[in-house]
Amino acid sequence: MGEDYLAHPKKTIQEFLSANADNIVFIPYAGVSLSWDEYTDMVNKALHDAGLKVNPVHRHKDPCEAVENASAIMIGGGNSFHLLKLLYDHHLVKLIRGKVRQGIPYIGWSAGANMACPTLKTTNDMPIVEPPHFKALGLVDFQINPHYTEDVLPNHGGENRAMRIAEYIKTNPGSRVLGLPEGTMLRATDHHVRLLGDKGCKIFQYGLPSRWIFEDKELNDFLFNSQII
């Protein structure tokens, strides 16, 4: 049995939003198999005992106005292609990017974490719809692969996750990818990136061996210093 929904990051979310919790705009566009109302209710139920309540963007006549007035922005998981397409359809990509760069807190998990990256290209999802292009919010300067695992099914003949990321690195040599297993978080503030949790992360970069980092620590040197191996 897994833990309750958002149980692991709940305390971190609460602390991160301590001064910005009055109007948390939640964007449920990644949800496909459940309605956005159901998704919103699930998030509110999970965060209730942390004293947090989200304001779903889809219940606003003007999504841009909702985001413009947000004290914080939260994007949940699901299908990241579906999510990115709707962010473009509703003219939210540049707006969210600008709001976060002005200091509005951003929280994203799974597909929402993919959105924080420069591009959608390291998602695990199937392209069930086609966004205008793969450029995402670009809130950080590196790529994330959520739910990272090195498990391989018996008799599975296809590529594992590490092999797929290696293909991305080879064709995008200027990029770096963080594989984040379940139970791992990143906190990026004021040009500092910190790894949270005890599951570690794996860093992939062109021309250097990939490596695991397990400590709760700052990752800036590993992300932005090409001499770190």
Q: Looking at 125, 151, 221, 226, which residue is catalytic? A: 125
Are the CB atoms for 161 and 152 separated by under 8 Å?
no
Instruction: Exactly one of 147, 191, 192, 198 is catalytic; name it.
Output: 147
Name every residue whose Cβ is closer than 8 Å to that of residue 151 and which is 6 or more positions away in sequence.
none
Tell me, yes or no, if 221 is annotated catalytic: no
180 CB-contact burial (10 Å; exposed 0-12 / middle 13-18 / buried 19+): buried
User: Is 156 an annotated catalytic residue?
Assistant: no
Ordered DSSP codes for 129-154 = S--S-SB----SSSEEEET------T
* E strand or H helix at 228: none
Rounded to whole angstroms, the Cα distance separating 176 from 173 reads: 8
Q: Hey, is 99 helix, strand or coil?
A: helix
* Three-class HEC string of 161-220: HHHHHHHHHHHCCCCEEEEECCCCEEEEECCEEEEECCCCEEEEECCEEEEEECCCCECH
Written as one letter, the residue type at 223 is L
- Which of 93, 146, 137, 91 has the alpha carbon at shortest distance from 118? 137
User: Which entry of 8, 80, 90, 110 is annotated as an active-site residue?
Assistant: 110
Q: Does residue 84 contact residue 119 with C-beta atoms inside 8 Å?
A: no
125 assigned to active site: yes
Q: Which of 30, 51, 22, 27 is nearest to 40 (CA)?
A: 27
- Cite the active site residues: 110, 125, 147
